[in-house]
Structure 1
């Protein structure tokens, strides 16, 4: 008996994924997209995670420091969008990714939105979102961690126009909270770990070193 994700892999997937990697990393003090984790930069790591999932196409939105970050992913089978309005916040990056999806020749039924600074996102988590989308019949599938609903999260095509119309710093998390009756969630406890500051990064490296020693 094949799972939903296996069935999707045997067909042309209609679930895309957008990776938001356009931020200026002001709290980090340097582009966190280029921080190394397990031998790869963050942006390369999450791009390969997305490529290994059932989602196609894989879209990466760049903005601040794009000229430094792009070489990290230019050889990968992805599409890159340059968000010139990156300073307007996450909403502008979501809009850039959705506009690309709307201009593709194939029909896209839904999209997963992910960030590049959640190091424990895996192909399995992304595939669980897709599985839950088909099994629950809910139009929004969100990850649940630390008592909140957040990304990675999947959104049905019916929400594309609303996502593209988000203003200023509004992001996927606020959109999820504004549509809770449309949401099905999956547990992802490690989703609470993201990297915004040098202290966050050092803690992540400490966790990684500790796991290597076990």
Structure 2
């Protein structure tokens, strides 16, 4: 399902309140931003730190819980998220003291936290990062509207979208975050998440009819390097 198809369909079909509240959110925000040289969580968009901006974006989907996994030993990030959690009881903070071991450990911590909620009504989990600076509410809603076991985002890599690259060269599309996944399946996969091996390789093993896609090339612009950060600021996607 393309983003355009969802928008057109949304004109005729409203998402019910029950559908919009049967999920939890995990925000993976414990990365050390080594290539960027500064914490990407603290980049600023519309006058707000990126980690706060993305958490508020997740709140628009009215989840049962939002688990934000943050790095250990970073007082500014911790204090900002504590303030937000005090404001919104839905938000829970998890500190990852092993952020250097890869994304999988953060995801496992997020899953464990959701399990402790002991909620029988959580059917899916929406998993997000913090550095896709053009992510919007409409895209998250489209992911949650899908009915497949996994509904993931599809977009190009930076190499495909940068102006100096040849757009005709073969560059594989990315099928990844943010994504919505069946909660029971996510728990089954928990033990298989190790190091930098996240969900992508597990999702590829599913039958095709269990995987939904929402196209959005704006998600190509994540921030990993100083050059990408400069480009995002030049475009006005992040505050200077």
Aligned to 1:179: 206
For structure 2, the residue ranges without an aligned partner over 5 or more in a row are 1-11, 157-172
- Root mean square deviation of aligned Cα: 2.0
8 Å CA contact 1:54, 1:127 repeated in 2: no
Question: Given the alignment, which residue of 166, 184, 190 partners 2:218?
Answer: 190
Q: Which stretch of the first structure deviates more once superposed, 159-168 or 106-115?
A: 159-168
Q: Distance in 2 between matches of 1:97 and 1:45?
A: 19
* Max Rg structure: 2
8 Å CA contact 2:153, 2:213 repeated in 1: yes
**Cα distance, 1:161–1:198 mapped onto 2, change above 3 Å:** same
Q: Distance in 2 between matches of 1:120 and 1:205?
A: 12
8 Å CA contact 2:72, 2:95 repeated in 1: no
Q: Which stretch of the first structure deviates more once superposed, 162-171 or 41-50?
A: 162-171
Q: Distance in 1 between matches of 2:219 and 2:205?
A: 20
Aligned to 1:168: 195
**Cα distance, 1:205–1:55 mapped onto 2, change above 3 Å:** same
Give TM-score, length-normalised by structure 2. Answer: 0.78
Aligned to 1:132: 146
For structure 1, the residue ranges without an aligned partner over 5 or more in a row are none
- Select the structure with the greater relative contact order (CA < 8 A; seq sep ≥ 6): 2
Q: Distance in 1 between matches of 2:207 and 2:106?
A: 23
8 Å CA contact 1:22, 1:66 repeated in 2: no
Aligned to 2:104: 91
Deviation per residue, 1:20-48 (Å, 9 max, x gap): 00011100111111111221111011011
**Cα distance, 1:29–1:183 mapped onto 2, change above 3 Å:** same
Aligned to 1:155: 181
Tell me the secondary structure at the aligned position of residue 168 of structure 1. Answer: coil
Kindly state the Cα deviation for residue 175 of structure 1 after the two structures are TM-superposed: 2.9
Q: Tell me the matched-pair count.
A: 203
Q: Distance in 2 between matches of 1:15 and 1:27?
A: 33
Question: Given the alignment, which residue of 39, 42, 54 partners 1:46?
Answer: 54
Tell me the secondary structure at the aligned position of residue 33 of structure 2. Answer: coil
Q: Distance in 1 between matches of 2:237 and 2:152?
A: 30
Structure 1 stretches of 4+ with a deviation exceeding 6 A read: none
Aligned to 1:110: 124
Question: Given the alignment, which residue of 112, 123, 129 partners 2:137?
Answer: 123
